Every structure is written in C-alpha cells, then in structure tokens.
Chain A
Amino acid sequence: GAVVSQHPSWVICKSGTSVKIECRSLDFQATTMFWYRQFPKQSLMLMATSNEGSKATYEQGVEKDKFLINHASLTLSTLTVTSAHPEDSSFYICSARDGVAGYTDTQYFGPGTRLTVL
C-alpha cells in the first residue's frame, strides 16, 4: 500500500520555540493531506485539511496562526507549531489521500510525531 512518512518521529522543545513537522507521501502524489492531533487514549481530532497549492482549511477551534500548514508540493505538507507551549504537547499524525476520486479514496497515515514542550 501507499506509504506516508513523518519527520521527526519525536521532538522535545522549549516553551516559546517553533517546531516544524514534515509529512511526505513516498510513492504517490497527494493533492490532499490532513493533519490530526491525538491525545493519550483518545481518538484522532482533525486539525486541518491541506490542499496542494492553496491555503489549508482549519477545523473550528484550531488556531491557524499557531498551527501553520504549508502544502507546497504533491508529496510534502508541513505543520509548524509556532510559539509552542506545554499544552501543545501531543501526538500529531498526518494522512494523505491516494486518489482523485475524493471522499471514497483511502487516507494513508504517517507514523506520527510526538511533540513534548517543556
């Protein structure tokens, strides 16, 4: 199946710094990528939908100025957590959709990035 990678797999940073997480589709082109956040023992919460070449669509309650998303190519989307604070500590997971049919296409998920803000 399709492979999605994330980098880094884990990161520890100081409060107030910014952290960039990369999401790559390795063997397919993804016009749409998604960013999720997962708290311990909880389900995934969609943060934003990222479309190549256009602005991301953020879910209600997600601060777009804090979570900057860039989808510059068909294989790369980045999430930057700006001025991170301890409450931003979480497991961030990206996914990429493998086709152009739309909502029936399969989303393939990256391995996740664990962010710890001290």
Chain B
Amino acid sequence: AQSVAQPEDQVNVAEGNPLTVKCTYSVSGNPYLFWYVQYPNRGLQFLLKYITGDNLVKGSYGFEAEFNKSQTSFHLKKPSALVSDSALYFCAAVKAAGNKLTFGGGTRVLVKP
C-alpha cells in the first residue's frame, strides 16, 4: 500500500525567508509525486510534479521540489516566501499502474509580514 506523510501540520515563516514544506512517501515501484496548493474554499491548484529525470523540479509561482530517493522525500521549497503563499499545501503520490492520487494530510503555511 502506498502512503504520503506530511509531518508538519503548520509551518510559520517570515516574509522573505525560505519556505520548506516536508513530504515523505512510501510507494512500491517508481514514485510519481505531486504538489498542490489550496486556498480557502477553493479547489487545489497544481504546482509541480516529479515523474522521472532531474531530481530538482521547478514549478509554478517560484516553487520547486527536490526528489530524494534514498530518503523517500519530496520536499517543497521556495527561496523567498510571500504573504500570498499562505495556504494549505498537499503532497500526493500516484500508484504506478493505477489511477488514484494518495494525498498527505496537508500542511498549512502561514507567512507573516
């Protein structure tokens, strides 16, 4: 069975500081990993995905994520956080040969001015 864990319920960071949102996964076979962001009362917006290739994936709004196979992690990063980055972030994995996304529990990011 596959699972995705986001160990932090909330991350607080000052505007302008680096932002990291952690994600670890447990997937049999090759992992296909995604990050989404959700603003209040809205659906999820796609940020980036890792399928294969370069371990550093660049996505929307200045976000990037680093795939680390040995640590089974896919942490989301942004060099300089903005107040508008405050939202709920979800890491997700899809099972190879399957259709379904498995989501982590979500991490709420609060960027303070």
Majority SS at the chain A contact face: strand
Binding site for B on A (CB under 8 A): 1, 4, 6, 32, 34, 42-44, 46, 49, 91, 93, 95, 97, 102-104, 106-112, 114
Return the 3 tightest CB-CB contacts between A and B, nearest first.
A109-B43, A109-B44, A111-B43
Interface size class, chain B: 20 to 34
Say if the beta carbon of B49 comes within 8 Å of chain A: yes
Q: Which of B43, B94, B100, B106 contacts A104 (CB 8 A)?
A: B94
Contacts A43-B106, A112-B41 given; does A106 touch B46 at CB 8 Å = yes
Within 17-36 of B, Cβ neighbours of A (below 8 Å) are at 32, 34, 36
Number of A-B contacts (CB under 8 A): 59
Cβ contact within 8 Å between A6 and B98: no
